[in-house]
Amino acid sequence: MVNNNYLPFKAKILDKYQQTELDWTYRLECQIKPIFGQFMEVSLPGVGECPISISDFGEGYIEMTIRTVGQVTEGIEKLNPEDYLYLRGPYGIGFPIESFYNKHLIIATGGTGLAPVKSIINYFYAHPELLKQCDILTGFKTPSDVLFTSDLDKWSQLFRVEVTVDKLDEFGNLEVIPNSCSRKTGLITSLIPEVQLPSLEDVRVVIVGPPIMMRYTAQEFLCRGLKQENIWVSFERKMSCGLGKCGHCKIDETYVCLEGPVFNFTKAQTLLD
């Protein structure tokens, strides 16, 4: 049977985990083997479709962390294990994972930008011998917005993990963030001057988050002496069809869904708003 990239397939929800008031992680029965950083088109018949990054995957399943922000995602939130979603994909260019081998990898994320790199972190957590060092810098608006708290705790057993929030929420504390992580308030860019960089030539940086966060975070690393070609970003700018047909994600002559969502910063600096 010829594979049809336009045709969705059914995927059973195996489990569902609440992350925050708005964010849920869904584990779906799926036999695909994506590349780190790719995304799926997720649909509900009669409701609509939206692109969602793959936050993790393994034998016989993928996971996606979905924020409830519109009609499609509101419909998805009402589903439970044993219900079905419809998927197309995976699509897009992923991270060049082998380029990080035997390097000092720094992953900097803002908000839900932690989801697209969760699988990378878990991969290197399972294979720490492939890296010289790993630093994880992740920022959220408030403590109530922090994702993957149990994973942050686990990762901090092997890697340096720093979590910052822009401001305290109504609860006024950082107790939701594991004690094993460094906990601070302020923008994620405030963490970068403190990162130890013994060898600039060995450093590789991955940045995922809102466009303005990625731009200023990249600039901070450039000020530390990193080369543009050693920085990668990922973003989903108005993606819709995933196949480069609708043109919603087009920036000048670049189709984000086809040539991204992962870009080397040498290219991304001309695309970021």
Print pLDDT tens along the chain (273 aa).
345 667 899 999 999 999 999 999 999 999 999 999 999 999 999 999 999 999 999 999 999 999 999 899 999 999 999 999 999 999 999 999 999 999 999 999 999 999 999 999 999 999 999 999 999 999 999 998 999 999 999 999 999 999 999 987 665 567 778 888 888 889 999 999 999 999 999 999 999 999 999 999 999 999 999 999 999 999 876 676 776 777 776 777 777 777 779 999 999 888 876
Is 54 in contact with 38 (CB distance < 8 Å)? yes
Distance CA 254, CA 29 (A): 33
- pLDDT for position 273: 61
Which residue type, as a one-letter code, is found at position 2?
Answer: V
Distance CA 263, CA 267 (A): 6
- pLDDT for position 238: 67
- pLDDT for position 6: 73
- pLDDT for position 260: 72
Q: Which domains are present in the chain?
A: 9-91 (2.40.30.10), 97-268 (3.40.50.80)
Distance CA 68, CA 269 (A): 29
- pLDDT for position 65: 97
Distance CA 157, CA 151 (A): 10
- pLDDT for position 242: 72
Joined together, the tokens standing for residue 259 give 């040539």
Q: How far is CA 143 from the centre of its chain?
A: 18
Q: Measured between alpha carbons, how far is residue 18 from residues 22, 109, 265 in Å?
A: 8, 20, 33
Which residue type, as a one-letter code, is found at position 18?
Answer: Q
Q: How far is CA 19 from the centre of its chain?
A: 14
Bridge partners of residue 207, in order along the sequence: 108, 233
- pLDDT for position 1: 39
- What's phi and psi for 258, nearest 5 deg? -95, -45
- pLDDT for position 134: 97
DSSP-derived pairing of the beta strands 84-91 and 9-18: antiparallel
Bridge partners of residue 25, in order along the sequence: 17, 65
- pLDDT for position 235: 83
